């Protein structure tokens, strides 16, 4: 029997309970900073800063944008914003081409304008039919 093997599996190991090491680090650093602030700043400043730091830590640990974690998105943003930009493609200005109608002189004094030439049908359809009929046999 043949079995299909799944590819592109990305699975981080759970280190501390249901959290991966990265998630635990983000939440742990935010908690440690809040613990230090509890003893160093007034209580109202402590509460406000803990809400901001806790929200930031949880966002860094769990928030995903477009299937990518927030630290990856933020790193890509900084790399794009700070890094040099190279623009390779530059469209050149092409002059506008005009086609004139052909004029044929029938007899003396009479001029007749020919209609614009219409291109033949695309050969792509014909070639496609030929290929289909040759491979279909």
Average pLDDT, the chain: 82
Q: Tell me, yes or no, if the pTM score tops 0.95.
A: no
Closest by CA to 33, choosing from 52, 17, 15, 16, is 52
CA 113 to chain centre: 53
Tens-place pLDDT, residues 117-137: 666 667 787 788 888 777 544
Measured between alpha carbons, how far is 23 from 59 in angstroms, rounded to an integer? 10
Delimit the domains of the chain by residue range. 11-113
């Amino acid at each position: 029997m043949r079995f299909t093997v799944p590819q592109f599996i990305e699975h981080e190991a759970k280190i501390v309970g249901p959290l991966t090491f990265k998630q635990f680090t983000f939440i742990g650093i935010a908690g440690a900073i809040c613990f230090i602030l509890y003893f160093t700043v007034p209580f109202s400043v402590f509460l406000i800063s803990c809400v901001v730091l806790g929200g930031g830590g949880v966002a860094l640990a769990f928030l995903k944008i477009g299937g990518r974690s927030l630290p990856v998105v933020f790193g890509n943003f900084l790399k794009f914003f700070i890094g040099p930009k190279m623009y390779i493609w530059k469209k050149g200005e092409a002059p506008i081409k005009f086609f004139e109608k052909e004029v044929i002189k029938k007899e003396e004094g009479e001029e007749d304008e020919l209609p614009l030439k219409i291109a033949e049908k695309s050969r792509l359809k014909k070639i496609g039919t030929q290929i289909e009929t040759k491979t279909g046999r």
